[in-house]
Structure 1
Amino acid sequence: MGLFDFLTQRSKNTASTAKSRLQILIQQERSMRGAPDYLPMLQRELLEVIRKYINVDTDAVKVAMHKDGDNELLDISVALPDKAAPAGG
């Protein structure tokens, strides 16, 4: 039976990993439900403005809303390339 023990152990680790990933996805989905409707539009517009000056990927701009006590914080993250190439060139 020792030969097959590694298969069952691997399955448990895989199941545990899949469960963790699913929990993260569900948590992310729940957090987006309460987000304002304008966030996706804001994200697209920021990407358009940044692309006027620097060539970046479509997923380079991330926008999220967070609560800090009574305050709501707007978190904007922009992933810039290592070497910033001018846009339009």
Structure 2
Amino acid sequence: MNENVLGIVAGVLTSASMIPQLIKVLKEKNVKDLSLVMLLVLITGVSLWVWYGIMKDELPIILSNAFSVLVNLSLLICYFIYRKS
């Protein structure tokens, strides 16, 4: 298997781990169990991985972490929409 394919598959699987959480939040419209700090740290970390991937010209790192940023930004948006004031 090509190492780029392996990297993309590994990255997408890791990044996709938050999709069940996003689906649950969207169905239940409830974010009380989400940690804002965790989301902010995770988004910062994966954004830095995207930057690193760009600097190294590594497509698997860029794609998988960009996907993760999108999923986690979606969760962050849901957090602010569905949180109880």
TM-score under structure 2 normalisation? 0.30
Question: Radius of gyration: which is bigger?
Answer: 1
TM-score by length of 1: 0.29
Relative contact order (C-alpha < 8 Å, sep 6+): which is higher? 2
More strand by proportion, 1 or 2? 1
